[in-house]
Each structure stands twice: as C-alpha cells, then as structure tokens.
Structure 1
Amino acid sequence: MRNLTTLGLAVLRLLDEKPRHPYEVRQCMREQGIDHLIKVTHGALYHAFDVLAKAELIEPVETTREGKRPERTVYAITDDGREIAAGRLRELLSTLESEYPTYGAALAFMSLLTTDDAAEQLERRAVLLESELASVTTSSDALLKRGVEAVHIVELRHLQAHLRADLELTRAIVDDIREGRLHWQADRRATE
C-alpha cells in the first residue's frame, strides 16, 4: 500500500503492540515522542483509523463505554496490516524519497534580503533550533528513563541529528555573512 502515510504506519506500529482505541494511540504518540515527527491532529488520527479499517489493515475488536462518555472502539492490527506495514517500512528505510524542505528553499532565495537582515533572521533560527534540540533531547532522555525501549525512540535520534546539522549549518552561514565571506547584490541595492 504505497499510500500508507507515516501517520497510518504509526497507528499500525502502536496497534501491533496491543489493541487500542484512537485516544489511547494519541496518548502513546505523545508519550513516545512520535508527535515530534508526525503532525497528529484529532481529525487526521480518526481519518487514519477510518482509512485503515476500510482497507482491512485494522479491525474493531471491542466497543466500550465508561459512564456518560461516548463509546470507544478498540482496534487491532490484522495480518494484512502487519504485512502491508512491514512492506511499506522496508521501502521507506531502503530508498530515498525527494523531500522539499522549506528551509532549503529559503536559503536559495536568501539573496532577496540584505546580508545583515539575512544574518539576523538566521540567528533567530539558531536560537529556535537550540531550543528545539534541547526539548527533543530532554524528551528522549525522559522516555529512556521511563523504560521506553530505545528502538521506539530511534526516530528522536534522527531528529536530533537533523537539528544538530541544521544548527551547525545555520551558524556557519551566519559566520560567513558576518565575516564577509558570503555576500550578494541586495546590499548594493539597499544603499542605492
């Protein structure tokens, strides 16, 4: 199933551990830091459950009601779900997909700003990157201390590596601008 989204894959992985209802899956995503990697909204999560159920990759196994709360349907992964998830995961791990990060585009168009303005914006980004890196590191450490298996948070190591690389590059570009090694026409236009 080539159109199995990363959110769908996350749902299948969590249901592979044990049957759960969508709210519990959402909680697990928060607890395991998956929400740092995948945008998870209430609507998107329930839509993913609907799509997976229609494709027979998951199936309802129980419906419960506690007090006046709405019914909660507990889902389990099917054998087809495991097979499809494994195949999609093999594909994602072993191949390269073109990604179009907005930061790369912003760097390509940075010459629209003056060097001072660009350096100032990049310095702001560096502060945000430092903060995000600290947050992800804290989350990762806390998850390990709580006993979450390292295999379930290896993606946070990947995120940390990307944040470190982004921070290193951003600082290097700022240094190149501030030291005069990187300059462009916008500075001349600004003084004319």
Structure 2
Amino acid sequence: MRTLTILGLAVLRLLSQQPQHPYEVRQRLREQGLDHLIKVTHGALYHTFDVLTKAALIEMVETTREGKRPERTVYAITDEGLEVALERLRELLSTLQPEYPTYCAALAFMSLLPKQDAVAQLEQRAVLLEAALASATTGSDALVKRGVAAIDIVEIRHLQAHLRADLDLTRAIVEDIHEGRLEWRSGEQSNEGKTDG
C-alpha cells in the first residue's frame, strides 16, 4: 500500500473508536471540526474506504438498512489497520515533512507589487486572519461545551497558533513597510528588496 493519507488516518482513527459506515465517519469528521483540516469530499471518502478495504486495514462487518434508505455497509478497523495507523501517526508526529506554503512564496515575490498595493493586500489578509482565528476559537469553544475531549481537538490549538503567528507576521510586515524598515524596489529583478523573513 502507498503511504497512508491523512484522510485514511482519520478514517482509521474513527473506526478504532467503533465500527461505522462512511456516512457516519463523514458526520463525525464534521462534528469534531476535522473537515477544516482535511479535505473531505464524498468521492474521496468512499475511495479511501475502498483503498483501506483492499489493503485489509478495514473490513466490512455488516450491512444495515433503515426504512427506504439505501443499504449502508459498516466497517471496522483490523489489527493490521491499527498497526499501520499507529506507525503513520508516529512518523507524522516525530518528523518534519517538507511543506510549500503559498503565503511564504507570495512574500518572496511581494516586491513585484507597488508598495501601497502590497500593503492593501496584506491588510486584507490580516482581516481574513482575524476572522479565521475568531471562527476557530468559537468552534473550539462550541466543541468543548458539547463535551468533546480536549485531546480530540488539540489540532485546533495548532491551527489557532498558526493563525496567530501568521496574523502577527502580517501585521509586522505592514508596520515595517509603513516605518520604512523594508526597502522597496518594485518590479526589480534583484534580491536587494527582499525581506529576511
């Protein structure tokens, strides 16, 4: 099997709690706010169930039908599935994976814009970051009120930390531009106008 995807890991984690059908898994991903961290489409979820089944990491345990609804197949994690999930999780927690954030790339090329245009875009980003941070905080508070255990939403703390750091950096860059600490040579093809960060 290829490397276990994040969605695959999420499915294995939820099935380790109890057998479920794909629709239930999707609902739980939403309830726990994981759909903000993992892209979950209907097709991707069912494909993941197929891949995990073929790799013997999960298995069908029963098929149920409620009323006139279509049959739903309930899946459970296998012992091998749990082993693979634990190994992948250890790897993800303990190693640094190369990431290529688009905002970092945009900052590297920012001097292509006229200074005031760049400031306007950064200020717009700061507004969006403030809203995203407020939304993440509200969502986290709501999950805690619903009784979701802190360990099950620790990733929201990570998200909030990244949003705060992004917001602080964006505000600092805007201030550096306003205060003249960033020399601006719009459109030049030299590296002299780049920031250190």
Q: Tell me which amino acid in the other structure corresponds to 1:173.
A: I
How far apart are residue 98 of structure 1 and its match? 0.4
TM-score (norm 2): 0.92
CA contact (8 A) 1:33 1:139 kept: yes
CA distance in 2, matches of 1:179, 1:35: 40
- Provide the residue aligned with 1:177 in structure 2: 177
- Provide the residue aligned with 1:138 in structure 2: 138
TM-score (norm 1): 0.95
CA contact (8 A) 1:115 1:187 kept: no
Unpaired runs of at least 5, structure 2: 189-197
Unpaired runs of at least 5, structure 1: none
How far apart are residue 47 of structure 1 and its match? 0.8
How far apart are residue 2 of structure 1 and its match? 5.8
CA distance in 2, matches of 1:131, 1:177: 23
Whether 1:27 and 2:18 are equivalent positions in the alignment is no
CA contact (8 A) 2:64 2:72 kept: yes
Higher relative contact order at CA 8 Å, sep ≥6: structure 1 or structure 2?
A: 1
Structure with the higher helix share, 1 or 2: 1
How far apart are residue 187 of structure 1 and its match? 7.6
* Residues 20-60 of structure 1: per-residue CA shift (max 9 Å, x gap): 11111011011101011111111111111111111110111
CA distance in 2, matches of 1:140, 1:21: 26
Structure 1 residue runs of 4+, over 4 Å off? none
- Provide the residue aligned with 2:193 in structure 1: none
CA distance in 1, matches of 2:187, 2:35: 41
CA distance in 2, matches of 1:71, 1:162: 42
Cα RMSD between the aligned structures? 1.3
How far apart are residue 183 of structure 1 and its match? 2.8
How far apart are residue 176 of structure 1 and its match? 0.7
Aligned length: 188
CA contact (8 A) 2:32 2:152 kept: yes
**Paired-residue identity, %:** 77
- Provide the residue aligned with 2:107 in structure 1: 107
